[in-house]
């Protein structure tokens, strides 16, 4: 069992993003020392400053998930900072959509490198340093569980992340390390704004309304709040939490429940 006299340490990749920052804030409020890793240096600094201003114990870690060496360096930075690592959250991600005939090799590479390759190599770097009670949480997607018409590459990357999660859960179970995926529906973060601006054909509000039109709540449909995702992630990170491992937990207002 890991040392219980010093605070647990969490590494959150994509921690300056909408969900990542909420997860960092939640874990920080629960007493974790939080290493926030991201590609976007300005948002990274701002996220760490906000947490520190609120009394949180936070570190900014520059990270490019597309580079294996950068993933390893991020883990090294956390170990140099606090000498332990208990939680890894993969919340970095990129979205691309469009007819498959229009997709390029660059689209494929960035989606797979960030959403899947980086997640694997960050975990690989972390594994030797994780002890019993450690937890890994991958932010997958509803699009990793069911097909999302017009986002084939993104779906493939998130579906891969779900099965990566399950295979790693089996591999790491003898060491009492849990690995789970969280599969959100549409969450109110900069990613949704990016999608609506880039793919909304000049009508971002219409794009967002179309997303919500698929929800079984009908007129009461709304986007999920990042804090609602953070709550589930924090539960999965509890060292003596429920025996949940290898799960792909939906948090999507039922959009993947059926039709």
Ligand X SMILES: NC(=O)c1ccc[n+]([C@@H]2O[C@H](COP(=O)([O-])OP(=O)(O)OC[C@H]3O[C@@H](n4cnc5c(N)ncnc54)[C@H](O)[C@@H]3O)[C@@H](O)[C@H]2O)c1
In the complex, the smallest distance separating the C-beta of residue 225 from ligand X, rounded to whole angstroms, is: 11
User: Which one, 16 or 234, has the nearer CB to ligand X?
Assistant: 16
Which residues contribute to the site for ligand X (CB under 6 A)?
14, 16-20, 38-40, 43, 63-66, 91-94, 114, 139, 141, 184, 186-187, 189-192
DSSP 29-93: HTT-EEEEEES-HHHHHHHHHHHHHTT--EEEEE--TT-HHHHHHHHHHHHHHHS---EEEE---
In the complex, the smallest distance separating the C-beta of residue 233 from ligand X, rounded to whole angstroms, is: 11
User: Which one, 44 or 133, has the nearer CB to ligand X?
Assistant: 44
Question: Do residues 184 and 139 make contact, with C-beta atoms less than 8 angstroms apart?
Answer: yes
Residue of 154, 199, 207, 215 marked catalytic:
154
User: Which one, 9 or 187, has the nearer CB to ligand X?
Assistant: 187
At residue 5's C-alpha, the angle toward residues 34 and 38, to 5°, is 10
In the complex, the smallest distance separating the C-beta of residue 203 from ligand X, rounded to whole angstroms, is: 18
In the complex, the smallest distance separating the C-beta of residue 14 from ligand X, rounded to whole angstroms, is: 3
User: Which one, 56 or 184, has the nearer CB to ligand X?
Assistant: 184
Q: Any catalytic annotation for residue 199? A: no
**SS3 per-residue string spanning 199-238:** HCCCCHHHHHHHHHCCCCCHHHCCCECHHHHHHHHHHHHC
The catalytic site residues sit at 154
């Amino acid at each position: 069992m890991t040392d219980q006299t010093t605070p647990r340490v969490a590494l959150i990749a994509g921690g300056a993003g909408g969900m990542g920052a909420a997860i960092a804030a939640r874990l920080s409020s629960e007493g974790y020392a939080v290493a926030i890793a991201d590609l976007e240096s300005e948002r990274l600094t701002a996220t760490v400053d906000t947490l520190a201003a609120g009394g949180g114990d936070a570190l900014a870690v520059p990270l490019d998930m597309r580079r294996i060496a950068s993933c390893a360096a991020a883990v090294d930075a956390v170990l140099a900072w606090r000498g332990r690592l208990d939680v890894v959250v993969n919340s970095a991600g990129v979205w691309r959509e469009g007819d498959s005939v229009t997709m390029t090799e660059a689209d494929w590479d960035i989606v797979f490198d960030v959403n899947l390759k980086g997640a694997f190599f960050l975990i690989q770097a972390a594994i030797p340093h994780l002890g019993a009670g450690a937890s890994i949480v991958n932010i997958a997607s509803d699009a990793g569980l069911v097909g999302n018409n017009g986002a084939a590459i993104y779906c493939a990357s998130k579906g891969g992340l779900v099965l990566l999660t399950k295979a790693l859960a089996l591999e790491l179970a003898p060491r009492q390390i849990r690995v789970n995926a969280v599969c959100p529906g549409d969450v109110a973060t900069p990613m949704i704004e990016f999608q609506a601006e880039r793919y909304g054909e000049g009508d971002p509000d219409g794009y967002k309304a179309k997303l919500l039109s698929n929800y079984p709540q009908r007129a009461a449909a709304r986007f999920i709040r990042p804090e609602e995702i953070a709550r589930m992630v924090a539960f999965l990170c509890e060292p003596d939490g429920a025996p949940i491992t290898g799960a792909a937990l939906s948090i999507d207002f039922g959009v993947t429940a059926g039709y």
